[in-house]
Amino acid sequence: MSGHIFVFGASSWIGRGVAERFVGPSAVTAIARRPDRLAELADRGAHTIICDVVDAEKLEQAINEAVDCSGKLTALVYCAVSSVSALRPGPGIVAYSVAKAGLNALITGMAKELGLRRAVGVAPGWIDTEMNQAFKHVYSEDFQVALDQRSPAGIATVDSVVNAIEFLLSDKACNIPGEMLTMDGGAIL
């Protein structure tokens, strides 16, 4: 995909993978809170902006800076968009699940109200990421083995999620507006 891709959450795992995948064929603006990790993306050719997206004023400045630097945004990738937890909340993560369900509604609403053909999202199941590694007491090796047994297509990887995002941003997915792609290997079937 060519154009200008704006990647939120570009300093970690999925976001970083998306930024790395598209830098080169596309102009990439990578936004995140962690300057050390953004520096590595800048070395690869991404335009980087340090910003916490909860600050609306700074976010608006970041978007304006991105457009001034690389032109009109072609695609917006908000990493940490959704999770299968939005569809099937688990014990102890109800607030997280509600937040993810709200983001699902945001994707659908953006597609309807803004007419964005590329307002799509990915809802991965459990993935071995930095966030999940912080909860090894919950996501133990036994948990991962049991999840793998419940997932006929296997546990998604960061790379498989980035592949799905690449597909959703391609012309091959031009008739998939406002959809949330569930990527849990079939675990919630």
What is the per-residue pLDDT for 117? Answer: 62
pLDDT tens across 125-151, in order?
A: 888 887 777 877 777 888 888 888 988
pLDDT at 71 exceeding the cut of 80: yes
Judge contact between 8 and 153, C-beta under 8 A: no
Q: Where are the alpha helices (DSSP H) in the chain?
A: 13-22, 35-43, 56-70, 94-114, 130-133, 141-150, 158-169
> Among residues 96, 139, 143, 167, which one is catalytic?
96
CATH H-level superfamily of 1-80: NAD(P)-binding Rossmann-like Domain (3.40.50.720)
pTM of the complete model beyond 0.85: yes
Instruction: Please provide the CATH number assigned to the domain covering 81-189.
Output: 3.40.50.720
Segments making up each domain of the chain, as ranges: 1-80, 81-189
pLDDT band at 109 (very low <50, low <70, confident <90, very high): confident
Please indicate whether the domains covering 1-80 and 81-189 agree at the CATH topology level.
Answer: yes
Catalytic annotation on 96?
A: yes
pLDDT band at 48 (very low <50, low <70, confident <90, very high): very high
Top pLDDT among 154 and 162 is at 162
